[in-house]
Structure 1
């Protein structure tokens, strides 16, 4: 798991400045906004065939550029604290208390289940599994960000003590 985290960090060139930009609430919320856009882009294969690859590519490019598209921020907002907490987790998973690790594992399972429903819904062009799966993915991600925000606050308290 740590190898995957390191690979993602290297792919997106996540140095200190990149994390601070990634924590910008505009970055966080526009990544969430990309979810329905990606679903629509994939679904559009039913209407425009292989041309659906153009909007899919546009969303993928945006998601790749997103972490560096906004100015850096300090961890004041809920979203920023969550991303700063994710950074703590990415650098030192042992700093996450066992009960939070358990919740994070549950959230990964929920997210994967939601992603499975999204995948099924998009393959079959079934609206309700796609919508329900996307809702589960978003809710799991929001809860994950909230947990990471708590982790950031805990790390800040410990560094101040």
Structure 2
């Protein structure tokens, strides 16, 4: 099983959950998860092992988020189209997508992954500069990826 299918199964993303996740509120309320994770992990200095409480809350929110909002009335919003494009990208082995979208998504996921590595190292070392650089890199690449997913969705749903 590849990582994308593993993640989708881990998150229990079925058709109904994807429909609810397409609500812009779902997408936009997920954006602050990584900065909040940084704050939670950084707080280990003050909280000690109690740091597991905010980290657990973020993990629960990450799983719960695509389930708490109702399906949107339409898919016109940028975030809705991005979520639906991401679902198409995840299913690209079953339903191929245009190569230029696949290539750019791969590059952006590599960039986001690199940002996460820098982010994690910065948190481990309590280095604010590395943490922020990794956060900007990971989130910037993820949002750019999401923008490409809007483009993918628009290109295939005209």
TM band (smaller chain): over 0.9
Aligned equivalents of 1:97 and 1:103: distance in 2?
A: 10
Task: Give the 4+ runs in structure 1 shifted more than 6 A.
Answer: none
Tell me what 1:79 maps to.
Answer: 79
Aligned-pair Cα RMSD in Å? 1.4
Aligned equivalents of 1:3 and 1:121: distance in 2?
A: 28
1:99 counterpart = 2:100: yes
Aligned equivalents of 2:6 and 2:110: distance in 1?
A: 21
Structure 2, unmatched stretches of 5+, are none
Tell me what 2:4 maps to.
Answer: 5
Tell me what 2:61 maps to.
Answer: 62
| Number of residue equivalences | 156
1:7-46 to 2 correspondence within 5 Å? Answer: 7-46=6-45
1:101-120 to 2 correspondence within 5 Å? Answer: 101-120=102-121
Structure 1, unmatched stretches of 5+, are none
Aligned equivalents of 2:45 and 2:33: distance in 1?
A: 20
**Structure with a larger share of its residues in helix:** 1
Scaled by the length of structure 1, the TM-score of the pair is 0.91
